[in-house]
Structure 1
Amino acid sequence: MPSAVPPPDWVIARRRVIGDRIRAARLHANLTQERLAELAEMDRQTINRIEQGHQSPIVDNLIRIADALDVPLADLVR
């Protein structure tokens, strides 16, 4: 089985921007990572990895996060 090809640098950079937007929205809502994770029905470690840009969030998780933050999904990914 072939190994996965790592994403190009520009994809990683965009992933970090999305994580920064999630973090900013979370802090604006005065939420901890733990509380956001509870509201989004996710675990805190996943929230942390997404905010740090270490994990690519799946669309379902982005929808959960946007809903928990009460922000449009587009605000997180544009």
Structure 2
Amino acid sequence: MPELHSEAARIFGERVRSSRLQLGVSQEHVAELAEMHVTNVGKIERGQTNPSLSTIVALAGALSADPGSWLTGIRPEMVPGRSHTLTAAEFIRERTQRA
């Protein structure tokens, strides 16, 4: 079984799956409505991929969901491989202090 893409992807996928199950529809139906391949729906629900913004919006439309609700509480540190750990405000503050 492929590994999780990230903790953020796992949480997001669980939320998409929950929305789908609440409606009682299959991955196949969601894929058709969102105009995407069913394997991509499965990968998203299992947290094995990071969906693009257009994919997130298409899924939300298919599931009559607010895409923002799927992202609540997901933080940058939940995505591995970030080279910068500062926020924009912290970055500006540091640059100002160095000048």
**TM-score under structure 2 normalisation?**
0.66
Gaps spanning 5+ residues in structure 2: where? 73-99
- Measured after TM superposition, the shift of residue 69 of structure 1 is 0.4
Point out where structure 1 has 5 or more consecutive residues left out of the alignment. Answer: 1-8
Tell me whether 1:77 sits opposite 2:71 in the alignment: yes
Q: Distance in 2 between matches of 1:22 and 1:74?
A: 11
Aligned-partner Cα distance in 2 for 1:71–1:47? 15
The percent of aligned pairs where both chains have the same amino acid is 30
Give runs of ≥4 in structure 1 deviating > 3 Å. Answer: none
Q: Deviations over 1:53-75 (max 9, x none)?
A: 11110010000000110011111
Work out whether 1:15 is the aligned partner of 2:9: yes
Cα distance in 1 for partners of 2:70, 2:58 equals: 12
Bigger radius of gyration among the two:
2
Q: Does 1:57 align with 2:51?
A: yes
Query: Which structure shows the higher helix fraction?
Result: 1
**Aligned equivalent of 1:34:** 28
Q: Secondary structure at the match of 1:15?
A: helix
Residue 46 (structure 1) shift: 0.3
Paired position in structure 1 for 2:18 = 24
> Number of residues paired by the alignment?
69
